[in-house]
A and B are shown apart, each in its own frame.
Chain A
Amino acid sequence: MENSWNPLGYKNLYRELFKKHLDRQNELLKKNRPVGWFFSFHPSELIYIFDVVPAFPEQYSAYCAARGSSVDLIDTSISSGYGHFLCDYFKTTIGMIEAPEKATPPLMPKPDFIISSRALCVAHHEMAEVFSRYYGIPKYTVNYPYWTTDSLKNPDELTKEAEWAEEVYVEYTIERLRGLVDFLSKIAGEVDEDRFMEVFRKSEKTSELLIKILNLMMSKPTPGSQREISDLVFIAFFVLGSDYALEFCENAYEIIKERVKRKEGVSEEKYRLLTFGIVPWHSLKIYQYCESMGANFPVNLYVNASVHKADSSNPYLSMVRRSMHFTNSSYEMLDGVVKTAKKAEIDGALLLENTGCRITSMIIRPLAERLNEDLGVQSLILEAPQCDPRVMPMERAKTQIDAFLESLS
């Protein structure tokens, strides 16, 4: 039986945020500022410090998936010889490059440079190579470590502040990040130290608000919908350090704070579910469907992974901290996730296996096992590539969700 669905109402805030982001982009393009392509977990602050035009293959692909063009783009990539089981974001972007007429406008501007990073996956590095070769443009690589229990101790699941991190790894990453600043200086002009600090101060404030919002999401009843919360990754990954991100978070925080004060939920809460996996951008209504059935999501681990506590007093360490999330760590680091799940008092988990994404897909079963062993919580695993709706027809997903919720009751 469906009950009423009462989201936070972030829609207008997002609209305003995207408008400001695109206005900035267009203004800088008019000024012939250099265009860079970036991936999630890159230090987005540098975009604002150097006043470059950013484009994000992941975000653009998500946009194509939401607008229905990603399937054709993915097929174009496979026809060109790229593997079936690669990241959907890669295949969608290749489709945009090779068959722009099939892609949803506005297309990403052609890059003048590309930043390859491995703060999440080697796939970012692999795709940066391919894009760089297509356009014949320079690429700079920042290789963050993959954290294991012998190199990182007790990172906080949300802030990513850790008790200890291996110095050799931190130092090397910082050296590469300093190299990135030099690389960008050559392309976009010298760095202005005051601007550097100002952007990091904004980033710090924004990151604090993001963490507060995610903490408030764990309130009872769950105050917001994942249709709104999942889009926070755009802020955390791509525009952290901008004026408009800070403005968005200030407003969003006030809204959710008030909602929690009033003890108002997104729906009449029957179940509290944890979710993980890259959001299936083509079928966002899956969250609304669950929430309308009273199954709310106080925790989205994918969103949690995207945030970190930025620190303007130590910007370089702060940039390294971005990589200290559980999806970039050996599976013992699921301890932090279990702690979060316990705190949120979850009843079950909806886990999305993103076909082609080795990161999210390979950790999903161990995650389900830990939730079961430590908390007695059952999981539903759905195969759900983030840009290809053919693998997860909505009606089939709904049937599986119905059965899962039935089993929880």
Chain B
Amino acid sequence: MREPFKLFFSIFQERSKLKEYRNEGRRIFGTMCNNVPEEVIHALNAVPFRMFGNYGNTNLANSRIPSWTCNYARNVMEAGLRGDFDFLDGVVSATTDDTKIHLFSAYRFYMKPEFSYLVQFPYVRDEISERFFSKELERFAKHLSSFLSAEFDLERLSDSIKIYNKYRLLCSEFEKLRADEKPKIRADEFMALMLSSLSMLKEDFTSMAENLPEMLREHDGFSDYRLRIHLSGTDFYSLTLLRLIEESGMAVVSDDLCTSAGYFTGYVEGDGFDALAERYSGCTACVMTSSNTELSVEERLRFIRKKLRENEADAIVLLKDRGCEVCGHQCPWIVREIDAPVLVLDLDFPLSVEQYRTRMEAFVEAHGGG
């Protein structure tokens, strides 16, 4: 990993920015899903922080929640039980899938955070549901502002929306650089940026990273690959596996991960809770919300096809976390309906690195041309 990215990754690993915010007296709220509308937390001068654990073995968690649940959930529980999140003022999750719902409940039960809120998603995009979701976001704002003894200010929300949109725009710049014919950014570097952006205020990230695209454009880029791939999955953040993918001769040029494109794709158009509701119920890759006339898997397929087309990806690597219910239900449809070769990797941690390497190399051999 090159130097500027190392710095970003260390911010994620060491939580250095969070410590700074804490020292400044800012309140910090952990989020368990990319669909938590962080602008609401940000507008109250608090810091949203995406919770991650990084334990190969999750022994403590396994005695509280089933060991077959997804790697993300087990790691958050493990980190919580080990006291890694003791600095948080509260946690927020969303009803986006059963694991997220029950991770929220289990976390509350065992860790007893001072504040907690579960954002109720409507699953349907129609007038009634959009109206409800807007009210739900307002309700969340009320609960949080009451906890913080602060007034919720719509003007501040508008500022936060602008900050987040600017962040999203910057991420899309990085996305383009990653999709260059000679990609200017490696998969692990891209993920390091994403993870750091989830561990600091967006305005700080933007200010630190805004000159990076210019710098990267001057770089020659990488041509040591044989296959351009789209990476599909959910709450994935293993740099080891990303490196393995690239070492096997693939370049990751796009993704739909909850920790990456599934998180930053889609702008909030307008102001207020209505605009926020529209974005969060409509712009992401994995959420189980869809319009009345379409299924969410169809929206996900459309999202993937668009990414494949825009970024000229030749194939898909699908990271199927063995405990992820979204992957579990949607994976066969992606394999069947996307007109590109798909490598499905049943994902479990600790990683069986050599097994994955063999499969990846065989995939590149089969589809990577000369």
Contacts of B106 in A (CB 8 A): 331, 362, 366
User: Are B139 and A82 in contact, with the CB atoms below 8 A?
Assistant: no
Measured in the bound complex, the distance between the Cα atoms of B97 and A122 in whole Å is 6
Say yes or no: is A358 at the interface (Cβ < 8 Å to chain B): yes
Residue of B nearest to A365 (CB): B64
Say yes or no: is A398 at the interface (Cβ < 8 Å to chain B): no
Given A81-B344, A126-B325, also A359-B63 (CB < 8 A): no
Chain B 98-156 interface residues, beta-carbon cutoff 8 Å to A: 98-99, 101-106, 108-110, 116-118, 120-124, 128-129, 132, 135-136, 139, 143
Q: Which of A82, A122, A129 contacts B295 (CB 8 A)?
A: A129
Say yes or no: is A61 at the interface (Cβ < 8 Å to chain B): no
Say yes or no: is B288 at the interface (Cβ < 8 Å to chain A): yes
Given A80-B332, A126-B288, A358-B98, also A85-B68 (CB < 8 A): yes
Say yes or no: is B169 at the interface (Cβ < 8 Å to chain A): no
User: Are A146 and B68 in contact, with the CB atoms below 8 A?
Assistant: no
B130 vs chain A, min Cβ distance (A) = 11
Chain A 319-335 interface residues, beta-carbon cutoff 8 Å to B: 330-332
Q: B-facing mask of A344-371, CB < 8 A → 1, else 0?
A: 0000000001011011011101100000
Contacts of B69 in A (CB 8 A): 85, 358, 362
A260 vs chain B, min Cβ distance (A) = 36
User: Are B105 and A122 in contact, with the CB atoms below 8 A?
Assistant: no
Given A84-B322, A146-B118, also A121-B98 (CB < 8 A): yes
Q: Which of A145, A353, A362, A365 has the most CB of B within 10 A?
A: A362
Say yes or no: is B327 at the interface (Cβ < 8 Å to chain A): yes
Say yes or no: is A175 at the interface (Cβ < 8 Å to chain B): yes
Given A86-B328, A172-B132, also A133-B120 (CB < 8 A): no
Say yes or no: is A168 at the interface (Cβ < 8 Å to chain B): yes
Say yes or no: is B197 at the interface (Cβ < 8 Å to chain A): no
Measured in the bound complex, the distance between the Cα atoms of B297 and A154 in whole Å is 37
Say yes or no: is B320 at the interface (Cβ < 8 Å to chain A): yes
Count chain B residues whose beta carbon lies closer than 8 angstroms to a beta carbon of A.
54
User: Are B344 and A179 in contact, with the CB atoms below 8 A?
Assistant: no
A174 vs chain B, min Cβ distance (A) = 10
Contacts of A129 in B (CB 8 A): 288, 295-297, 329
User: Are A143 and B123 in contact, with the CB atoms below 8 A?
Assistant: yes
Say yes or no: is B304 at the interface (Cβ < 8 Å to chain A): no
Say yes or no: is A8 at the interface (Cβ < 8 Å to chain B): no
User: Are A83 and B325 in contact, with the CB atoms below 8 A?
Assistant: yes
A-B contact count (CB 8 A): 141
B350 vs chain A, min Cβ distance (A) = 18
* Interface size of A as a range: 35 or more
B292 vs chain A, min Cβ distance (A) = 9
Chain A 130-147 interface residues, beta-carbon cutoff 8 Å to B: 130, 132-133, 139, 141, 143, 145-146
User: Are A331 and B109 in contact, with the CB atoms below 8 A?
Assistant: yes
Residue of A nearest to B332 (CB): A81
User: Are B95 and A122 in contact, with the CB atoms below 8 A?
Assistant: yes
Q: B-facing mask of A40-79, CB < 8 A → 1, else 0?
A: 0000000000000000000000000000000000000000
Say yes or no: is A233 at the interface (Cβ < 8 Å to chain B): no
Measured in the bound complex, the distance between the Cα atoms of B328 and A82 in whole Å is 5
User: Are B128 and A125 in contact, with the CB atoms below 8 A?
Assistant: no
User: Are A146 and B101 in contact, with the CB atoms below 8 A?
Assistant: yes
Say yes or no: is A176 at the interface (Cβ < 8 Å to chain B): yes
B288 vs chain A, min Cβ distance (A) = 6
User: Are A168 and B139 in contact, with the CB atoms below 8 A?
Assistant: yes
Say yes or no: is A127 at the interface (Cβ < 8 Å to chain B): yes
Contacts of B128 in A (CB 8 A): 172, 175-176, 179
Say yes or no: is A194 at the interface (Cβ < 8 Å to chain B): no
Say yes or no: is B343 at the interface (Cβ < 8 Å to chain A): no
Residue of B nearest to A327 (CB): B102
User: Are A358 and B295 in contact, with the CB atoms below 8 A?
Assistant: no
Given A118-B123, A133-B297, also A363-B66 (CB < 8 A): no
Q: B-facing mask of A140-162, CB < 8 A → 1, else 0?
A: 01010110101000000000000
Contacts of A197 in B (CB 8 A): none
Say yes or no: is B185 at the interface (Cβ < 8 Å to chain A): no
7 additional contacts (CB under 8 A) given A85-B325, A129-B288, A166-B139 = A85-B328, A141-B123, A172-B129, A176-B124, A331-B105, A353-B66, A365-B63
Residues on B facing A (Cβ under 8 Å): 63-66, 68-69, 95-99, 101-106, 108-110, 116-118, 120-124, 128-129, 132, 135-136, 139, 143, 288, 295-298, 320, 322-329, 331-333, 335, 344
Task: Please name the 4 residue pairs, one residue from A and one from B, whose CB atoms are nearest each other, closest first.
Answer: A83-B328, A81-B332, A362-B102, A358-B98
| Cross-chain pairs A/B with CB under 8 angstroms, 23 sampled | A80-B332, A81-B335, A82-B329, A82-B332, A85-B69, A86-B328, A118-B95, A121-B98, A122-B95, A122-B96, A123-B98, A126-B326, A129-B296, A141-B123, A143-B121, A143-B129, A146-B118, A166-B139, A168-B136, A172-B132, A331-B106, A358-B66, A362-B66
